[in-house]
Every structure is written in structure tokens, then in C-alpha cells.
Amino acid sequence: MHFTSAQRLDDGVLERRFTLAEVPGILWTPGSAPAPTPLILLGQPGGLDKMYPRLLARARQFAAQGFAAATLELPGSGERPRSAAAEEARTDLRRAVTAGEPVTDGVVDRLVLPLVDKAVPELQGDLDALLSLPEIGGPVGYAGGIIAIGVRLAVVESRISAAVLFAGSYVPRSMFEEARQVTIPLHVLLQWDDEGNDRQMALDLFDAFGSKEKTLHANMGGHTGVPAFEVEAGNRFFARHLESRRRRCST
Amino acid sequence: MHFTSAQRLDDGVLERRFTLAEVPGILWTPGSAPAPTPLILLGQPGGLDKMYPRLLARARQFAAQGFAAATLELPGSGERPRSAAAEEARTDLRRAVTAGEPVTDGVVDRLVLPLVDKAVPELQGDLDALLSLPEIGGPVGYAGGIIAIGVRLAVVESRISAAVLFAGSYVPRSMFEEARQVTIPLHVLLQWDDEGNDRQMALDLFDAFGSKEKTLHANMGGHTGVPAFEVEAGNRFFARHLESRRRRCST
């Protein structure tokens, strides 16, 4: 992990950009919080520059709760090299959505499975590097989108204790079996009238999760219209699960 | 409205039992809150004595927020005269559920429609009486179960400004058209694995509501296992909608 810049924001949050095996990422740590702090991995749809304002806003909220937050550029997004197969699948998906046609399982598999296969090990490497920093301890939460990445991470990465998942992207059918293996507490956000998302798939996925504690919060307002009170509900979810684990670990 | 008893509880809440046209009810008002206070009508499945502990707990939480709360016995429940037709429909419904058979629309209609037709005007009369008390002003919220009663009330009673509905009972198909006419902010609680409830019906009903602001919160834990954090989310919903209306009314 190589830090490329550092700046102290007006609310005291320290923002550091880094690269990890040439993949760019950003780490935010609270200005004042008892170290080591819990960490939240921020999932995002790819394109750090475009997503920066929203990621920063989430990171500031988590920092106010005493949590660090970090994000990593997705394979094939931002400045990273494109995959021809992924671009082709993305074009096919957009064409189907624009034409009002059903998005086939084949298109979803071609687009999402290689992304999950590549992104999850990178996020695990990110976690190794971040948790080796003295200011970051654990527990670790995952928050955000490309829900299939959240599902895979929750299954294979035992350091993730709780996740807020945004049901705003397609999930390959083959990953429903993985969803059954998820046992960590989950808080799932669904925008009920999100036209770019398959509502029934999101409900089926929520049903499939093996977690004993799982909550679904559905709202109106389209893909980007998650109400502010639901953002706060997600913050409280992490406060319940990460804070209590921190207390348990440190006593 | 005839008050039959009054007692001051240890947290300062004043609990008064009353009858209104021979129907028993309970009114809880906060020990200290700027009068007149908003009011929340507590829906319940019938049987005030059996439901008393849970109703009291909800009323205490609302009183702590500065809201009064009131409940009225349902037709055919508690000490009120039984309806032979309703008892027969209830027996048919229990038989179907016990046998694992589908609950027919006919059984739901026979059980729920007469109940809604009778209970809603009674609740409106209750509202007339309660709002004539100097300590109770408005706005008014509705919280609780027999969701069909909440739907009808939200349509016909313009004094109801916001509702927390518990999707834990059957709704006649004919009332989905009424659901489309609901425009007030709604917060719907669904217990995902509630065996005595039809999950798909609850999701369809949520979809049907005409409200621009509607939220669905689904959790595990069976019919009576609504998590404490969801009770708090309901409280915050009323704080947002009733408090802001009170401020708007008084300025």
C-alpha cells in the first residue's frame, strides 16, 4: 500500500489516496476517535472520480461515528484497463434495458461474475493492508453497491462482521446459493421504483440470505433517491453491530 | 366520552379508561408536554385486556415523544358482543391455516370487510371525542394492526396525517383499490417469516399504496418478533411527520 496524497479536511477527517498493486483507493480516518477504529469498506459502482462526492459524504458520516472508511477502484473502471468482454456485456445489458426487454441470465453472468471474481480478492488484499495500519483495528463492515460483490465478500471474508447492501444491480442466479451461506447481520436497501433494477430479484435475494438477522428497507425515490433517514438507519445498524463487537473484543 | 378511571403511572403518564357509546377504550397522555399534543391512534387485533401490556409499552414510548395515544376495543372483541358471521369466518380461516390450505378471498372478505365497515366509523367518533379534549390537538397518526382498518382510515379520515401499518393480517382484494387512494406518508412493517401472514399480499399492498412517501421495513423474528430498533424507527417516522406538522400549524 503506497500513499500518494494526504489532506486534513475541515471536519478533521484525514483523507489519504493510495495505490495497492496499481489499483487506486481512498482511505478516510476520523480526526478524533479512540484508535484502533473499526473500518467500513465502501462499495461503489466503479469510477472513483465520478463517485467521489457521494463516497466522501458517506465517509464523513462514518468518521463522525468513529469509523474509518475505505474504497478501492473496481476492475475495468476509472483509470483501470477495460475488459473487452465486460464492455460487450455492459453494452448488451444497456441495449436490453433501453429496449424494455428482459435482461437475460447470460448477460448478467458475463457482466457480473468476472467482476466479482476479480474484485473480491482485491478487496481482501486491501483489507490485509488496511488492517496492518496501527490506526485501524476492526471489526469491519461492508457498505454499498454491486450487491454481488457484497454477497461474495460476506461468504469468503470472515473479517466482515456486518453489511449494508444496496440492491441496485443485477445478481447472477448462481450466486443465490452463495447468498444462502451468508450468516452475518445484513441491512438491505431497496429502491422500490428503481427502473434499472429487478425488484423481484432483490426480494428473492433477500429471502435467500441465510442470516438470522436481516432487514430489508424499501423506499420510493428511484435509484439515487435513498431518503436521508435511511442513510441514518444504516449508520445505526453499523453502530449496533460494529460498536458492540469492538466492546466485546477490547474487554 | 365517559371516563371510568384515571391513574398516574410512575413515569408521569396519565392513563384514563373510557367508554364511548358503550365501547371501552384507553387514553394515555404525557406527564409533561406542551399541550395540545399530537395524538396517535393505536390499532390492535382486538381484546384490550390481552393486548394491554403491549399497548401500554407503545403508549409510554409515544408519551416520551410528547404524543398522546388512544385505543378502542374492536367490534366483536373483548367484552363486546360477538357476531356469529365473524366467528364463523374466523373458524374457517383458522381451519385453513392449520390445514396448510390457501385462505380464500371469500373467507377474508367475510371476516375483514364487516370489521372494517364497523370499526372505522367508531374510530372516527373516537377521534371526534378525543380532539375535543383541550389537552389533545393534532396532528393525528395511526399505528398498528388490522392493516385493512388502517387503509380505510387513511382514505376516509382526512385528520390522519401519517401511519405506521403492521402487515400482519389479511386484506380483502377489493381494498387494494382503496390502497391506491392513500396519499399520506406510510411506514409499513412486515415480519418476513410470519407464518400467519401472506407475504406476497403484503408486498402487493405496499406496491399498491398511492403515497409518494412510503417505506417498507421487513425483518425476521415471526409475528410478534418486531426488533426493538424497528419500533424506534416507527417513533422517528412519527417524530418527522407529526412534529413537523405541529410546527407548521402553530406558526
**A246 vs B191: which has the higher pLDDT:** B191
| pLDDT (tens digit per residue) in B172-208 | 999 999 999 999 999 999 999 988 788 999 999 999 9
The single-letter code of the amino acid at A227 is P
pLDDT exceeds 80 at position A118:
yes
Give domain status of residue A98, yes or no: no
C-alpha A27/C-alpha A46 separation (Å) is 16
| pLDDT (tens digit per residue) in B229-248 | 999 999 999 999 998 777 66
C-alpha A211/C-alpha A133 separation (Å) is 30
Give domain status of residue A107, yes or no: no
Q: Which of B216, B230, B236 to mutate to test the interface with A (most CBs of A within 10 A)?
A: B216
B3: pLDDT confidence band, cut at 50, 70 and 90? very high
Residue from the list B216, B230, B236 with its beta carbon closest to the beta carbon of A229:
B236
Q: Is the ipTM of this complex over 0.90?
A: no
Q: What is the largest CA-CA distance in chain A?
A: 57
Q: Which of B220, B231, B243 to mutate to test the interface with A (most CBs of A within 10 A)?
A: B220
- As a whole-number percent, the residues of chain B with pLDDT over 90 amount to 86
Residue-range definition of the domain harbouring residue A216: 2-76+117-250
Which residue of chain A has the CA closest to B236? Answer: A229
Give domain status of residue A93, yes or no: no
How far apart, in Å, are the Cα atoms of A195 and each of A209, B70, B147, B203, B217? Answer: 23, 41, 28, 17, 20
Query: What is the arithmetic mean of pLDDT over B42-69?
Result: 95
Query: What is the arithmetic mean of pLDDT over A84-101?
Result: 92
Q: Do B214 and A212 touch (CB under 8 A)?
A: no
Instruction: Provide the grid cell at A193.
Output: 421504483
- Name chain B contacts of A217, Cβ cutoff 8 Å: 215-218
The reported pLDDT for the residue numbered B246 is 73
| pLDDT (tens digit per residue) in A3-46 | 999 999 999 999 999 999 999 999 999 998 788 999 999 999 99
A249: pLDDT confidence band, cut at 50, 70 and 90? low
Residue from the list A215, A230, A236 with its beta carbon closest to the beta carbon of B218:
A215
Compute φ and ψ for B25, nearest 5 degrees: -150, 170
Query: What is the arithmetic mean of pLDDT over A62-86?
Result: 95
pLDDT exceeds 50 at position A142:
yes
pLDDT exceeds 60 at position B159:
yes
How far apart, in Å, are the Cα atoms of B215 and each of A81, A230, B184, B189, B207? Answer: 40, 10, 12, 9, 10
C-alpha A142/C-alpha A43 separation (Å) is 7
Give domain status of residue A200, yes or no: yes
Contact A167, A67 (CB under 8 A): no
Contact A170, A137 (CB under 8 A): no
| pLDDT (tens digit per residue) in A166-190 | 998 889 999 999 999 999 999 999 9
| pLDDT (tens digit per residue) in B144-157 | 889 999 999 999 99
C-alpha A62/C-alpha A39 separation (Å) is 9
The reported pLDDT for the residue numbered A195 is 81
Give domain status of residue A81, yes or no: no
Residue from the list A220, A229, A237 with its beta carbon closest to the beta carbon of B212:
A220
Query: What is the arithmetic mean of pLDDT over A54-66?
Result: 95
Give the closest-approach CA distance of A56 to chain B in angstroms.
26
Residue from the list A212, A220, A233 with its beta carbon closest to the beta carbon of B213:
A220
The reported pLDDT for the residue numbered A248 is 61
Compute φ and ψ for B77, nearest 5 degrees: -120, 165
Compute φ and ψ for A171, nearest 5 degrees: -125, 125
DSSP string for residues in A171-203: --GGGHHHHHT--S-EEEEEETT-TTS-HHHHH
Query: What is the arithmetic mean of pLDDT over B115-123?
Result: 97
Give domain status of residue A90, yes or no: no
The reported pLDDT for the residue numbered B142 is 98
B251: pLDDT confidence band, cut at 50, 70 and 90? very low
| pLDDT (tens digit per residue) in B59-88 | 999 999 999 999 999 999 999 999 999 999
Residue from the list B192, B203, B215 with its beta carbon closest to the beta carbon of A217:
B215
- Name chain A contacts of B227, Cβ cutoff 8 Å: 213, 215
pLDDT exceeds 60 at position A165:
yes
The residues of B whose Cβ lies within 8 A of any Cβ of A are: 192, 203, 206-207, 212-220, 227, 229-230, 233, 236-237, 240
Q: Do A192 and B220 touch (CB under 8 A)?
A: no
The reported pLDDT for the residue numbered B200 is 93
pLDDT exceeds 70 at position A247:
no
Q: Do B219 and A218 touch (CB under 8 A)?
A: no
Predicted TM-score (pTM) of the model is 0.91
Q: Do B216 and A240 touch (CB under 8 A)?
A: no
The reported pLDDT for the residue numbered B195 is 81
**3-class SS string, chain B:** CEEEEEEECCCCCEEEEEEECCEEEEEEECCCCCCCEEEEEEECCCCHHHHHHHHHHHHHHHHHCCCEEEEECCCCCCCCCCCHHHHHHHHHHHHHHHCCCCCCHHHHHHHHHHHHHHHHHHHHHHHHHHHCCCCEEEEEEEEECCHHHHHHHHHHCCCEEEEEEECCCCCCHHHHHHHHCCCCCEEEEEECCCCCCCHHHHHHHHHHCCCCCEEEEEECCCCCCCCHHHHHHHHHHHHHHHHHHHHHHHC
Instruction: Provide the grid cell at B96.
Output: 385453513
The reported pLDDT for the residue numbered B248 is 61
Total number of domains in chain B: 1
Supply the CATH number for residue B171's domain. Answer: 3.40.50.1820
- Name chain A contacts of B220, Cβ cutoff 8 Å: 212-214
C-alpha B129/C-alpha B19 separation (Å) is 11
A48: pLDDT confidence band, cut at 50, 70 and 90? very high
Cβ burial A37-53 (10 Å sphere, 16+ → b, else e): bbbbbbbbebebeebee
Residue from the list B214, B233, B237 with its beta carbon closest to the beta carbon of A220:
B214
Which residue of chain A has the CA closest to B219? Answer: A215
The reported pLDDT for the residue numbered A14 is 97
Compute φ and ψ for B187, nearest 5 degrees: -130, 110
- Name chain A contacts of B203, Cβ cutoff 8 Å: 203
C-alpha B239/C-alpha B161 separation (Å) is 12
Q: Do B218 and A213 touch (CB under 8 A)?
A: no
A79: pLDDT confidence band, cut at 50, 70 and 90? very high
Give domain status of residue A207, yes or no: yes
Q: Do B230 and A215 touch (CB under 8 A)?
A: yes
The reported pLDDT for the residue numbered A33 is 75
- Name chain B contacts of A216, Cβ cutoff 8 Å: 192, 216-219
The reported pLDDT for the residue numbered A251 is 42
- Name chain B contacts of A236, Cβ cutoff 8 Å: 229
Residue from the list A218, A227, A237 with its beta carbon closest to the beta carbon of B216:
A218
| Distance of alpha carbon A172 from the chain centroid | 17
